[in-house]
Amino acid sequence: MADKKNAMIIIKRYDAEGGHAHHGGGWKVAYADFMTAMMAFFLLLWILAASDEEKLRGLANYFTPTVSDGGSSSDAAADLRPLMAAGVMTGAVDNTGNVKKPSFGRDNPMMVFDSRLRDKPPQVVVEYAEAPELGETEEAADPATLAAAEEAERREAEIDRMAEDIAERITSDAELSDLARNVRLEKSGGALTVQVLDQDERSLFQRGSSEISDKTRELLLAIGDVIADQNQPVEIVGHTDAAAFGSNTGYSNWELSADRANATRRTLMAAGISGARFLRVSGVADTQPINTVDPMAPENRRISIRLVYQAS
């Protein structure tokens, strides 16, 4: 009991701020001010970006000081805008002593905010040569040249019409529509060439013979029926593949191609084409193949019927 009375009493004191007073809290105030300024700055940017042209123009007019012609502040200036003394404005002064009115933002206040309006694009001058009148062009052109151009256009139109008629004649016939793959129409050099060629599954002539098959005869008669009413000269050329004959009779692809061309001529004459219209009937064997990669290709065996459109 005596020991408790004589015991040493220890008193501990604690700082009210929890012992961290040496750090201080002033940085928090500075950080809060910085964040507030940043928020105001971004709000300003957002308002400028979201505002239309009319609002931006009004904002520019609000911060642009104006003066009247007499040198005093104009009535249009708001009371809250800072104005300097009468007759005194920032800006250059001309030689006469009169105050030169500032032009910043007055002509186009949008230039304050939009650099695209401040930076004027370079001026590009485009000059156009005066086109001659249609009558002057026609008078300057050679009459012979104009006539030749008109004749060429007429021939092209006739060739296009003839090609369409032949294609329609073949495709419209149910018995000949399956032979449409055996016909090719080519337009070049003022002429229309009808290529009647073999396919893998169908041959126009018996192999090694000039005898025309029944289907080929019907096809040639249909083509001849279309061109019988025309007056253009007709050329027929027979072609073969590179397969050679094994006999020693002297009969070769030259004779075979010529015989097939003559057989075609007789069939076209049966369709109503006059014999006087045939300008040339010849055979060239395998010297002009369509498929140059494979000389034995079936499409190399063909008959070319060429309508020559001569200038009138």
Reported confidence tier of residue 50, pLDDT bands at 50, 70, 90: confident
Nearest to 282 by CA among 309, 302, 301, 254: 254
Over the range 274-306, which residues count as b (16 or more CB within 10 Å of their CB) and which as e? eeebbeebebbbbeebeeeeeeebbbbbbbbbb
pLDDT digits (tens, 9 = 90+) for 37-46: 999 999 888 8
In this structure, the answer to whether residues 112 and 166 fall within a common structural domain is no
**157, 165 contact by CB (below 8 A):** no
pLDDT at 106 over 90: no
Question: Residue 93 pLDDT more than 60?
Answer: no
* Residue 135 placed within a domain: no
Report pLDDT digits (tens) over 172-211.
888 888 888 889 998 887 888 999 988 766 788 887 888 8
pLDDT at 11: 66
Give the range among 128-132, 143-147, 192-196, 279-283 with minimum mean pLDDT. Answer: 128-132
Choose one of 70, 85, 118: the last residue of a domain.
Answer: 118
- Is residue 103 located within the same domain as residue 146? no
> What does the alpha-carbon distance between residue 214 and residue 88 come to, in Å, rounded to a whole number?
111
Res 8: pLDDT:
66
- Using left for φ > 0, alpha for ψ between -120 and 50, and beta otherwise, residue 301 falls in beta
Q: Which two tokens stand for residue 186?
A: 């080519």
On whether both 168 and 219 belong to a single domain, the answer is yes
Q: Check whether residue 287 and residue 242 sit in a common domain.
A: yes
pLDDT of residue 24: 64
Domain range for 164 is: 142-308
What pLDDT score does 293 carry?
92
| Measured distance CA(143)–CA(135) in Å, rounded | 13
If asked whether residues 45 and 165 sit together in one domain, one would say: no
Instruction: Evaluate whether 222 touches 173 at the Cβ level (below 8 Å).
Output: yes
Amino acid 217 reads: R
